[in-house]
Amino acid sequence: MAEPQPQPQPQQSELQLLNGDELTEEKEDADAPESAKRRRRKKKKCKTCAPAGTNDAEGDAESVADVAKQLERTLQTLEEKEREEDGEEDADEGENSSGKKKKRKKKKKGLKGQTDPPSVPIYELYPSGEFPKGEECEYPPSKDGRSAAWRTTSEEKQALDRANEEMWSDFRQAAEAHRQVRAYVRSWIKPGMTMIDICEKLEDCSRKLINENGLGAGLAFPTGCSINHCAAHYTPNAGDPTVLRYDDVCKIDFGTHINGRIIDCAFTVTFNPKYDRLLEAVRDATNTGIKCAGIDVRLCDIGETIQEVMESYEVEIDGKTYQVKPVRNLNGHSIGPYRIHSGKTVPIVKGGEATRMEEGEVYAIETFGSTGRGAVYDDMECSHYMKNFNVGHVPIRLPRAKHLLNVINENFSTLAFCRRWLDRLGESKYLMALKNLCDLGIIDPYPPLCDIKGSYTAQYEHTILLRPTCKEVVSRGDDY
């Protein structure tokens, strides 16, 4: 860096000439009273502010204008910064009933909108903790014709409902995550994608929206993406080359949970309109099952009604007509904390158990329609596994099996998991250990369930809450 060049100093006589006026003023200041001194000082300041060739008044005006402009620029900058940070939302300015102007409304700090693709956790979108409710329905009337409308106004039932509000809130948060994820999946799923890519993209989005946190929040079970004659429990293992095709009927079945409160919800994806009637039949059957469900309703009555509706449909595919058959050995089920199948089954054909639904229970109402035999059997390579909920202490000899069980307990507990999820946790060479745990009855395998080859199956499913006051189809969305 260059050294600055010294400037020539002014002569003594020049300094005296330049400062002559100032010296005179200083002498006058010494003799004048205090008020006069202050006035002279102000005048002197204005002279120094004013540019050459202007009088005092002009200098004052210009300096005030400059300050005003600078202040205006500062205010504009602050407003822009405030909009960026707080997401300011301007309300229309007008006079209210009292004649006062409405104040500008601002979004609360921290309130966010969802991104595209979705990445903002649901709890951040609803910082108040009040999540969107599902579809609230009145319970069906009893067989003797008595209405259940009294439940909605009963103070006792309302108090019971409020007592469980924390549990209902967990379900609603998980359901909102499910709705947003499935809307996102519908926007990009297309023929030519591998099933692994579809599942991993869906699960990555689910983990973000549910804000995965160990066993406190996360995925409730592996993403099912069963195709055509395969009705359920298929998710690709590592290296599976299966690709989604234009003529496929793909069932997307995935779950989310908050504190073990599970949302189990599924829909069917097709690209060829020739399957529309099949999807309509199964969707109608599921909605019929939801409509019939309620406190004190017998499970066998729901199954009979579902079968009646589904079998009323016929579909024509490639010039051949099929009656849609309910898959008789697949059922809906009750849901418990960290337990996807908690004991009761909801049949989709007549002749099931006469067990009744009870207040406070949670159910997955799901139906499967098929153009095949209407029955499924185990087939293909297994991918789904789940720890036996009722298993006690079982001695394990293999060290690798002990290690694998610890990994399962820490990450999944009694929730279902798949081999891809073990790979994701860094586990390797675990197949022998997994088989050992299955042989001991600690882990149960759930292989894919298939109808006859060449047939097509479809599925729709919703989770319902049997609240004291009403029935809430908590996973209901605009899509189905």
Rg over alpha carbons for the chain, rounded to the nearest Å, is: 36
Q: Which amino acid is at 243?
A: V
Does the annotation list 264 as a binding residue? yes
Tokens 């009893």 correspond to what residue?
142
Count of C-beta atoms within a 10 Å radius of residue 56: 12
For residues 12 and 1, what is the distance between their CA atoms, to the nearest angstrom?
A: 33
Catalytic residue among 248, 451, 461, 472: 461
Q: Between the CA of residue 234 and those of 21, 22, 245, 430, 447, what are the distances in Å?
A: 98, 96, 16, 20, 7
Catalytic residue among 366, 427, 451, 472: 366
Q: Are strands 377-378 and 325-326 parallel, antiparallel or unpaired?
A: unpaired
Does the annotation list 366 as a binding residue? yes
Catalytic residue among 229, 333, 384, 462: 333
| H/E element, 323 | strand 320-323
Residue 243's beta-bridge partner residues?
194
Does the annotation list 341 as a binding residue? yes
Q: Between the CA of residue 58 and those of 63, 329, 339, 459, what are the distances in Å?
A: 9, 95, 83, 83
Tell me the Ramachandran region of residue 123: left when phi exceeds 0, alpha when psi lies from -120 to 50, beta otherwise: alpha
Does the annotation list 116 as a binding residue? no
By three-state DSSP, how is residue 266 classified?
Answer: strand
Catalytic residue among 341, 359, 403, 444: 341
Catalytic residue among 170, 203, 264, 361: 264
Which two structure tokens, joined as six digits, stand for 2? 């260059």
Active site annotation includes 229: no
For residues 137 and 152, what is the distance between their CA atoms, to the nearest angstrom?
A: 10
Does the annotation list 384 as a binding residue? no
Nearest Cα neighbor of 125 from 214, 213, 201, 210 is: 210
For residues 328 and 348, what is the distance between their CA atoms, to the nearest angstrom?
A: 6
356 contacts: CB under 8 Å, gap ≥ 6: 296, 297, 298, 299
Catalytic residue among 253, 284, 361, 427: 253
Decide: 245 and 228 in contact? Cβ < 8 Å.
Answer: no
Active site annotation includes 461: yes
Decide: 172 and 131 in contact? Cβ < 8 Å.
Answer: yes
Instruction: Name the DSSP letter for residue 274.
Output: G
Active site annotation includes 253: yes
Active site annotation includes 341: yes
Does the annotation list 393 as a binding residue? no
Does the annotation list 229 as a binding residue? no
Residues flagged as binding site for a divalent metal cation: 253, 264, 333, 366, 461
Residues flagged as binding site: 233, 253, 264, 333, 341, 366, 461
Q: Which residues are catalytic?
A: 253, 264, 333, 341, 366, 461
Residues flagged as binding site for substrate: 233, 341
